[in-house]
Structure 1
Amino acid sequence: MQTAFLRTALVCCAGALLSACGGAEVAETPAAPATQVVAEACSAESRADARARRPALEEAALAAAQESRGAGAPALWKMSDEDTVVYLFGTVHLLRPDMQWQTPVIEAAIASADTVVFEADVSSPEAQRELMKFYTGQGFFADGTQLTSLLSGTETEELTEALQLVDLPVEALQPYKPWMAAINISVKQMIDEGFDPEAGVEKVIERAALEHGASFAFLETVDDQLGGLAGLGNCEQIDFLMATVDGLEDGTAALDLLVDEWADGDVNGLGALMSNPEMLGSQPIYDAMMTDRNARWVPKIEVMLESPGTVLVAVGAGHLAGEGSVIEMLREKGHVVEGP
């Protein structure tokens, strides 16, 4: 299951990344003329060294996750005061359609919510326009650079070979920046192997909330969610891409394991799988996808306690498990958060 953990981060942490690409084919943008290799402070050798360390880290994480056990159902947390209840529920953005995860307790929390809070609006027509604008402006090279001009010869060969597993020619990805290429590769494999955005937890919650007239709110904008990743330097983006390449051969085995851990409510197991920056490519990638966003969300969740009513906060499960999670940050600030 070598370095397939990047996809676990996507499925448990970054809904807009998946929602905008889910079900879509890789854009057939004509490749621009090649440019010279972009000089970077990092080297292909240093990237290779980091990649070589990941299998051992993953083996240890897998062992820890498999040894840990949960309560047998997805975890649900609760903060409350005299007139407010805030539920926190970890989601998986894509699931197999036959996945059964709801329990009476979870269903009751959804049904009681006056407001449902997601990471970002990715469903409304306005949000879809913003997503497409962001991907067009931040996901493609505008200066004639080609993707493989940023890679070493060995990395280009590895990318080209790995893309055969998802039936993509490397030419189709040449106009893409590395972070965008990584997302498209991962989403295509997930959907090809049976994961469906419409079966994702947010979609199920959204449909139920609409039925009982709940309102919706969001913790961040599209720029908040995607800007950190798109704003990474070429070195970090290439780390992100090559971590994706390393995991393609194993298909979605890591995702199935993560879903099992989530469905079992094994928060410790999820933390073991998710809380290692090197397994996601690098510390900057981890911060952009996880830590920085968690820190921005916590004050917004605290403010929810100031208004009466019941709120359900549903965010990627990786944000609620392990070191630096939203749950840990809230507890460190003195809040009583009931749950595992």
Structure 2
Amino acid sequence: MATLLPCLLAACGTAEPVRQATPAMWLVADDDTQIYMLGAMHALPRGTDWDGGKVADVIGTADELVMELSPEELAEAGGVFQSLAPRTAPLAMAKRLPPPALASYRALEASGSDFGGDTLDDWAVMVLMGQRVAQKAELDSSDGVETRLTQRFKDAGKPVGGLETAREQLMLFETLDPATQRTLLTRAAEKSGDAVKDVGALTAAWGRGDVAALEKVINDDVDAVPAARKAIITDRNRRWSAWIQKRLERPGTVLMAVGAGHLVGSDGVPAMLEADGLKVTRVQ
């Protein structure tokens, strides 16, 4: 399920709409500040209804929206990827992957345009594979959580910000050591035949607000590659937890929408906040 790792940056979904999704959401607050943490999917099938109930209330009352990337940074992500992805010297995919993994990689590549993998770093090939899986699952970022939230907040004249830059986010992959990158790429290729199904399991758990199932899906993917888990999940969660604690020093109501995988488990943001002595309440 390593193909899901790019989805943890831009969480993916499945082609079947979750008509009445109730994604998990938490609240951390003090006397004059409320910060709601909503588990997000960046791309969803058309018709997915997730922004009713408590989420609708928070959208109406929040003063600002904070996501992983601001809209401006998201617009820069493609160019940053193109600048970071190329290898110093080409290396044939046949020299990187064992025969079974190579065959699965070629099958995924054959479902669309050529990845151009020989000229790209291992992490970049894996990201392209994750995007292809999203395409095969018939996802649409225009129906994703962040896209819809951004429009709602902009229409209301409310500020929309981000926790990271596009470069910072992609450098999480670029700076992984070569052995970890190769392990991730090999696992992604080996499991690519099941990737659409795995993405479906992730989205179904998200739609039910089933944090235990979400944690299991994510842990099955990243626990086998500890260095990737530390860089892509744990370290970022720690930075975001620190941001929340700093933001509590100023009054207001904030909706923070980040990939759902960052809010579950013992190293999820809510758990980190609780470990630091803050009260965190699940509100949906």
Q: Which runs of 4+ in 1 moved over 4 A?
A: 276-279
SS at match of 1:73: coil
Q: Give the CA deviation at 1:334.
A: 0.4
Structure 1 residues 114 and 283, CA gap change in structure 2 (3 angstroms): same
Deviations 1:130-155 (A, max 9, x none): x244223321113x222427515526
Shift in CA distance, 258/152, structure 1 to aligned 2, threshold 3 Å: closer
Higher-Rg structure is 1
One-letter identity of the residue aligned with 2:136: D
CA shift at 1:312, angstroms? 0.6
| Equivalent in 254, 275, 282 of residue 311 of structure 1 | 254
Judge conservation of contact 2:104–2:193 (CA < 8 Å) in 1.
no
1:274: Cα distance to partner? 1.2
Question: In the alignment, residue 233 of structure 2 is paired with which amino acid?
Answer: M
Q: Identify the residue that residue 93 of structure 2 maps to in structure 1.
A: 148
Structure 2 equivalent of residue 299 of structure 1: 242
Query: Does the 8 Å CA contact 1:90/1:318 hold for their aligned counterparts?
Result: yes
Contact residue 101 and residue 186 of structure 2 kept, 8 A = no
Distance 1:113 1:306 in 2: 16
How much has 1:276 moved relative to structure 2? 4.4
Of 216, 239, 243, the residue aligned with 2:187 is 243
Structure 1 residues 319 and 287: alpha-carbon distance in aligned structure 2, compared to 1, 3 A threshold? same
Counterpart of 1:85, as a letter, is Q
Partner of 1:179, secondary structure, is helix
How far 1:218 sits from its partner (Å)?
1.5
* Distance of 1:205 and 1:127 partners within structure 2: 14
Partner of 2:16: none
Say whether 1:325 aligns with 2:272.
no
Identity %: 25
Contact 1:116 1:312 in 2 (8 A): yes
Match of 2:41 in 1: 92
The residue correspondences of 1:1-340 to structure 2 (distance < 5 A) are 4=1, 6-7=3-4, 9-11=5-7, 13-15=8-10, 73-121=22-70, 123-124=71-72, 128-129=75-76, 131-142=77-88, 144-148=89-93, 151-154=96-99, 157-164=102-109, 166-169=111-114, 172-276=116-220, 278=222, 282-339=225-282
Q: Secondary structure at the match of 1:97?
A: coil
Asked whether the 8 Å contact 1:148–1:156 carries over to 2, the reply is no
Letter in 1 for 2:150: E
Conservation of the 8 A alpha-carbon contact between 2:42 and 2:144: yes
User: Aligned partners of 1:192 and 1:149: how far apart in 2?
Assistant: 24
Shift of 1:5: 5.3
Alpha-carbon distance change, 263 to 211 in structure 1, aligned in 2, over 3 angstroms: same
Distance 2:136 2:41 in 1: 17
TM-score normalised to structure 2 length:
0.88
Aligned residues: 276
Preserved contact between residue 27 and residue 35 of structure 2 (Cα < 8 Å): yes
Alignment partners' CA distance in 1, 2:197 and 2:108: 18
Aligned to 2:186, what secondary structure does the other structure show? helix
Residue 128 (structure 1) shift: 2.8
8 Å Cα contact 1:93/1:197 also seen in 2: yes
1:197-249 deviations in whole A, cap 9, x for unaligned? 11111111111111212112211122322212111122211212122212221
Aligned equivalents of 1:108 and 1:153: distance in 2?
51
Check the 8 A contact 1:96/1:195 in 2, yes or no.
Answer: yes
> Which one-letter code corresponds to 1:6 in the other structure?
T
Separation (CA, whole Å) in 2 of partners of 1:196 and 1:92: 11
Q: CA deviation at 1:101?
A: 1.5
- Work out whether residues 5 and 254 of structure 1, in 8 Å CA contact, stay in contact via their aligned partners in 2: no
Structure 2 gaps of 5+ residues are: 13-20
The one-letter amino acid paired with 1:14 is L
- Once the two structures are superposed, residues 62-106 of structure 1 have per-residue CA deviations (whole angstroms, 9 ceiling, x without a partner) of xxxxxxxxxx72111111111111111100111111212222210
Please identify, of 304-313 and 249-258, the stretch whose mean Cα deviation from structure 2 is larger. Answer: 249-258
Alignment CA distance shift 1:82-1:101 (3 Å): same
Coordinate RMSD, CA, aligned: 2.4
What secondary structure does 2:26 align onto? strand
